[in-house]
Structure 1
Amino acid sequence: MTTAHPPQLTPAAVRDHFHSSDTVLVAGGCGQPDAVLDIVAQARLDLPLTVMDCSVPGMTELDPDRISSASTLNTGFFLGGYRRLHAAGRLDWVPAFHSARYRALEDFYGVDVALIMVAPPGADGACSLGLHTDYSLAMLAKARLVIAEINAAVPDIADAPRIPLADIDFAVTSDRPLLEYRIGGKAADADAIVADHIADLVEDGDCLQLGIGALPVSILQRLGGKRDLGVHTGLLTEAFMPLVEAGVVNGRRKNIDTGKLVTGIAAGSQDFYRWCAGYAGLALRPVSYTHDAGVLASIDQLVAINTTLEIDLFGQLNSETLDGRQVGGGGGLVDFLRGARASRGGRSIIALHSTAKGGSLSKIKALLSGPVTALRADVDYVVTEQGVARLSNQSLERRAQALIGIAHPNFRAELTAQWQEILRRC
């Protein structure tokens, strides 16, 4: 099939087709279309635009000035680089889980302009969205104007959403390497102990979801003795790759998407991206599938393993603030916690170190000082280097004692006294 190539994007075309009060949604992660953003920046717009990001923490932070100097950024993540926007009154931070934000893009927000990156068109005249599909379908369904970076480095994933070349209004052709995700720093000594505890909670045939960071890597490194694991996750890193190559992760026992490794985003090195391109079992899906409550509940033995900033003795999680400062967002955490709890044989697991700031601060609190990201009924297990606390089906008293038991010994007496005071006030 032969389809005419979209016209080349130019600064003049940007000035002609971007309108005051437009909402511009930009793909993130390894799908961030930097070649498009460079040309948009050359247009030097000063229009009052709403820019919506799909940034991946630790990988991409969108600078809305690349689109318009008078823009406001609407985001579900409060990333470090966004503080200057907040101080200038140019940040609309929206507390929302991934599933809810996707639905809002479909039903609430009007997306006028979509900036995406795709693979070159195949024989069918369509372009694969490659390794970053999370919010792309929601933006493409509503956008008045679709601008794509057609990048030869984007793999044409067979089992990923595609967009007809004819649906792209303007394009920029490139062959630049995809943005990489690297886990910074050295794994903490406590990570190995926490990972050992969690490995004991993982059973043969489980379907895994893990977050990103050094601790999830340590966990995956300890699962080599398991059999027939599956994966259904929002973000796939190369820490999964050795388990797939060893046959530990094969999806054989998955009751849906059997044999498929399902994710919304892949993030890693160039070697990992090449591996993804050659792995026939990889399936890229939008947030409306990866984080959907019904889909997650239908997956047998779904085990969601995530981290948090702090937890209190009721089992409530704060994954958003430190010392009163906003440092993150809910993301997909609660989507997966609740999906795993609804799954037949599923489990939700929270992993964290017992202390912070060199051991001077307990990450297990009597009562949260920040917002409640996840409710006390959302978590089955909490794991620190001190041990494992099972919270599911436990009374308030028993869960409090279990959490005190996995706090650092230096803080247990204080937590016990604080808990007694909480009970006295009840």
Structure 2
Amino acid sequence: MQRDWRQQYVDKVVTAEEAIRGIPPGRRILIGSGAAEPVTLVQALVEKGEHLADNEVVHLLTLGPAPYVEPTHARRFRHIAFFIGPNVRQAVQEGRADFMPVFLSEIPELIRSRRVRIDVALLQVSPPDSHGYVSLGVSVDVVRSAVDAATLLIAEVNPNMPRTHGDSFLDVRRIHHLVPVDVPLLEAHAEPADEVSRQIGAHIARLIPDGATLQTGIGKIPDAVLAQLGGHHALGIHTEMLSDGVMRLVEAGAITGRRKTLLPGKLVTSFIMGSRELYAWAHENPAIEMRPSDFTNDPMTVASNENMIAINGALAVDLTGQVAADTLGGCFFSGIGGQVDFMRGARRSRGGKPIIALPSTAKAGTVSRIQAALEPGTGVVTSRGDVHYVVTEYGVADLWGRNIRERALALIAIAHPDFRGELMAAAKGRKWVLPDQVVPRVRYPWAEERLERTLSGDSLLIRPARITDERALQDLMYGLSSESCYRRFLGFKKEHPHEEMQRLVDLDYEHDMALVACPRGTDEVVGVVRYIVDPATRLADVDFVVRDDWQGRGVGTVLMRRIREAATARGIPGFQADVLATNKPMMDVFHESGLPIRSRREGAVYHLEMRFPAGPPVEPSSVRPLGRAAPRHADPGGEAVPAPSAHVPRPGGAS
């Protein structure tokens, strides 16, 4: 058998010109994808295929030249793009080539069923092994199905093509013509990161837990995300495309795949695209599992990975959450690709997160990518029902389970500030938001977010309040007992209308700051602290409230500490507060803060003044390292603020 395949191999070797002459006219030709484009055969197809007429050329994105789309070859070739790359974009937009909108997961079945007939496949493969098997190398995606369906297989045999594992092997005896070449594989060079992509990457990195499985692509934003993950642990990969950024994280030990629920330990992908270093690393790498796109992109397969994080780009998103990713200005620009496949798969994954990432503006900042409505002629790739997270450099909008008003507010809050006013005006004109809705004034301070552990062991996210917290804060207020409500407002209060809640979230995060406490993994608010700077004294009036069922668990202590840290960072010299004399839990929090307190009593209310000492704040003596037992702590149902360090005398006059 060894002699048999070797003899057949010799008999199949021809020149590129000879191979192309074997293609009849009027046939559909598939060209290998990405870095596996057989450039020598493509050149011969155009230069030596004078006999060809009315041949269709189909492929996904290819990195090399596409001379068959030139107007001079229109009678011989017409291109059909499964995904529009830069080398064929002008031809598609000028009507000299066609675009097929299709989910990447479905292309193999279209080919196998011959609904999309493939007659000829032009490939690039590795040299055969001792058993006579070549590898499809860096491109399996839709090529695998074309290999199985085509009646004529022509392959460049290139020693620079890595032998990859998985569903990538092909018996050389099945190939009709072999064209030996020795050329470097096409490379996709990463764009230099800019500040916008770095900020987007940082926001997305915060959404990714240790042990998550990732899908990402190539470009500044995916590279920026991967660059932020060096400190993560036990990450996995299940993606349609594998890049240099993945290789670097594997070498850094952040990607191990040990906690994957599907093919643990394997880097599952359908094509590899990047540098020569990446291709050399992929050669005979047993961790890489090459699979066709009907496996990698099947939403049910994707969903089999728990904690699946899918990161995809977009050209624009409207205020209802519709995503445009394949059209721009009414012209076809790219394609559906794998976006919907992975968005839906991640959405169905246990703990999964589908993420759309895009810069807030285009055309040098003159156009907003967050739009009131998509431009006429723009196609929706991902429906508003499929979208969960949208990320720009200004933050994260979580749209899942949100109504149109909430979605519009969340997306306006992450739009570029130059466009927020007109977006809000458009939303009001469409009756999507309330007529008096304020426009988010400043950039949300994401750096202030902290995951904290209370004295009772609860894990809470302490973060600045944002404009989308209005309903959650309203729920907090209406959930208070009559006693807690009286303590907080120094009187009974039956209503907490939109106007009041909007004032609570309309912040400048400098002179007016509020922090909320949310149980980890939720947007439920169980406590809030706020200060407003008094221009006359420069002291900040501070108040806070904790939901009754969370009182006595240390929430107030954490909120006090964090709001003090925020105030100190902004140069605020101290706090002042009015507290009912009977509000012992509130007084306890202030006194246990370690701040020196001056107080005076006015009837039933103490007025407290607390100035910050010079130097960094000191942790309260009652706070112990995480994970150790600690006594239950009194927690207010009323006003409050932060602090650290020892015990201070209780107020009864000046102290």
Matches of 2:59 and 2:295, distance apart in 1: 19
Give the partner amino acid of 1:162: F
Counterpart check, 1:366 vs 2:372: yes
Deviates more, 1:256-265 or 1:45-54: 45-54
Q: Does 1:325 align with 2:336?
A: no
> Is the CA contact (8 Å cut-off) linking 2:107 and 2:294 kept in structure 1?
no
Q: What is the CA–CA distance in structure 2 between the aligned matches of 1:119 and 1:80, rounded to whole Å?
A: 27
Residue by residue over 1:21-61, the C-alpha shift from the partner in whole angstroms, topping out at 9 and shown as x without a partner, is 211111021111122223333233341111112224xx345
CA distance in 2: counterparts of 1:173 and 1:13, whole angstroms: 11
Aligned to 2:559: none
Contact 1:9 1:39 (8 Å CA) reproduced: no
Task: Give how far 1:87 is off.
Answer: 6.7
Q: How do residues 352-391 of structure 1 correspond to structure 2 at under 5 angstroms?
A: 352-369=358-375, 370-391=378-399
Are 2:24 and 1:19 aligned? yes
Q: CA deviation at 1:79?
A: 3.3
Q: Is the 8 A contact 1:78 1:328 kept in 2?
A: yes
Give the whole-Å Cα distance in 2 for the aligned partners of 1:78 and 1:254.
Answer: 32
Residue 14 of structure 1, CA deviation: 2.9
**Which range moves more in the overlay, 98-107 or 132-141?**
98-107
Instruction: Structure 2: state its 5+ residue gaps.
Output: 434-655
Contact 1:50–1:72 (8 Å) recurs in 2: yes
Does 2:129 align with 1:128?
Answer: no
1:155 and 2:169 matched: no
Please, which of 191, 194, 204 is the counterpart of residue 188 of structure 1? 194
Following TM superposition, by how much is the alpha carbon of 1:271 offset from its aligned partner in structure 2, in angstroms?
Answer: 1.3
- Closer, same or farther: CA 315–60 of 1 in aligned 2, 3 Å: farther
Deviations 1:272-314 (A, max 9, x none): 1111115321111111111112211211111001111110111
Q: Measure, in 2, the Cα distance between the counterparts of 1:39 and 1:352.
A: 39
Alignment partner for residue 49 of structure 1, among 43, 55, 72?
55
Summarize the Cα distance change of 1:84–1:324 in structure 2 as closer, same or farther, 3 Å threshold: closer
> Post-superposition shift, 1:132?
0.9
| Counterpart selection for 1:206 from 206, 212, 220 | 212
**Correspondence for 1:36 among 38, 41, 64:** 41
TM-score, normalising length from structure 2? 0.62
Q: Which amino acid in structure 2 is aligned with residue 201 of structure 1? A: L
SS in 2 for 1:423: coil
Contact 1:304–1:347 (Cα < 8 Å) also in 2: yes
Change (3 A) 1:84 1:248: closer
Give the Cα separation in 2 of the matches to 1:68 and 1:88: 12
Q: Which has the higher contact order (CA 8 A, sep 6+)?
A: 1
How far did residue 209 of structure 1 move?
A: 0.4
User: Does 2:423 correspond to 1:415?
Assistant: yes
Distance 2:25 2:178 in 1: 22
Say which of 106, 110, 118 aligns to 2:117.
110
Question: Bigger CA drift: 194-203 or 43-52?
Answer: 43-52
Q: Which residue of 2 aligns with 1:303?
A: 309
Contiguous gaps of at least 5 residues in structure 1:
none
Report if aligned partners of 1:61, 1:79 keep a CA contact under 8 Å in 2.
no
Is residue 61–residue 84 contact of structure 2 (8 Å, CA) maintained in 1? no
Q: 1:86 to 1:279 in 2, by over 3 A?
A: closer
Secondary structure, counterpart of 2:283 in structure 1: helix
Question: How has the CA–CA distance of structure 1 residues 424 and 380 changed in structure 2, closer, same or farther, with 3 Å as cutoff?
Answer: closer
Change (3 A) 1:354 1:87: closer
Q: 1:327 to 1:61 in 2, by over 3 A?
A: farther
2:173 to 166, 178, 182: 166
The answer to whether the 8 A contact 2:325-2:336 is kept is: yes
2:149 alignment partner AA: K
- TM-score by length of structure 1 reads 0.94
* Separation of aligned partners in 1, 2:397 and 2:251: 33
Q: Sequence identity, in percent?
A: 36
Length, aligned pairs only: 421
In the alignment, which residue of structure 2 is the partner of 1:398?
406
Larger radius of gyration: 2
Pick closer, same or farther for the CA change 1:192–1:86 going to 2, 3 Å. Answer: closer
Q: Which residue of 1 aligns with 2:231?
A: 225
1:349 and 2:355 correspond:
yes
